[in-house]
Amino acid sequence: MSKKEQIARLLDKTGLSGVFFAGRRFYGNNHIRVVNYHSTPPQEMNNFEEQLKFYQHNYSSVSYKDLVQFFETGKWHKEKPGIIISFDDGWRDNIDNAVPLLEKYNFKGWFFIPSGLVDSSSSVQMEFVGKTEGRYMVTYGDGRYLMDWEELRVLYDNHVLGCHTWTHHRMDIKDTQELLNIEITEAKQYMERMLHKPINIFCWVGGELHTYTEAAAKKIKEAGYLYSFMTNTYPLTPGQQPLQIQRTNVETRNSLAVVKFQLSIFMDMFYRKKRRKVLQITTV
């Protein structure tokens, strides 16, 4: 059992998770939380369903129009705070397993796709699976582990899609302008051609401090993205910048105690120093 799991269970058992849980008590009703997942294997769907029940009890689903309205007015218009449930990398098991549960509980899913990998060969996709640090637990006999364009077109009818670079690239201070153009601008344009719809959302890969760069932030803005998502744990509140939306990482394997801990005021404070640095680097 990890140290985080131990702390989370202790807080949950003592009732302190309810004190630290960052809901209306700390931020009022006028905010949106963003969580991000990766692979969603079938053996973890019972656990994921419990997480969705928790979200449904404490939050309201957020559509793309809801996000636009929040930035335009500075006001959240539903009874409960909003929650954006996002998924990185475009895993095939997202549409097979997670989407039916999202729709069962009336949630919009937000899916961030490395557009250049969608058409990749089974060997490239297998190589990508090998780089996911053991997170991917599903085997597909045909060697296709990522959603294809037809699945993504169907998904876009009821959910939200954004770009997650061309090759799942972690930005680096050494990146050339040519590379940034491929990973940010051309990745967006290709998605738009394949989906026949605008792609206004970018999602950074990784989340480590060194993966945020000023050059990449400038390119995201120049490419015409309206929103971009980071991973530095904080709710979206009025006055924040649309190209600096923060997310909190959770996974379908996490216990409900860990989910509550991740969404607590404690974790918001823990990431404060890093978050400030990221905002300084990416304010362009």
Q: Is residue 95 a contact partner of residue 109, using CB atoms and an 8 Å limit?
A: no
| Average pLDDT of span 258-264 | 90
* 67: in domain: yes
Place of tokens 């690239």: 169
Q: Is residue 143 a contact partner of residue 122, using CB atoms and an 8 Å limit?
A: yes
Q: Is residue 96 a contact partner of residue 148, using CB atoms and an 8 Å limit?
A: no
Q: What is the mean pLDDT of the chain?
A: 92
For residue 87, the model assigns a pLDDT of 98
For residue 187, the model assigns a pLDDT of 98
Query: What percent of the chain stands above pLDDT 90?
Result: 79
**Model confidence pLDDT, tens digit, residues 11-25:** 666 665 665 565 667
**Local structure of residue 167 (DSSP, 8 states):** S
Number of domains the chain is built from: 1
- Which pLDDT band holds residue 186 (cuts at 50, 70, 90)? very high
* 257: in domain: yes
Q: Kindly report the CATH number assigned to the domain that includes residue 144.
A: 3.20.20
* 68: in domain: yes
Place of tokens 């801990």: 261
| Average pLDDT of span 91-115 | 97
- Which pLDDT band holds residue 274 (cuts at 50, 70, 90)? very high
**Model confidence pLDDT, tens digit, residues 29-54:** 899 999 999 999 999 999 999 999 99
Domain enclosing residue 143, as ranges: 3-7+30-162+232-282
* 95: in domain: yes
* 96: in domain: yes
* 194: in domain: no
Chain centroid offset of residue 111 CA: 7
pTM equals: 0.94
Helices 187-195 and 149-156 cross at an angle (nearest 10°) of 80
* 198: in domain: no
Long-range contacts of 64-70 (CB under 8 A, 24+ apart): 64/108, 64/160, 67/32, 67/227, 70/32, 70/236, 70/238
* 202: in domain: no
More confident position, 128 or 106: 106
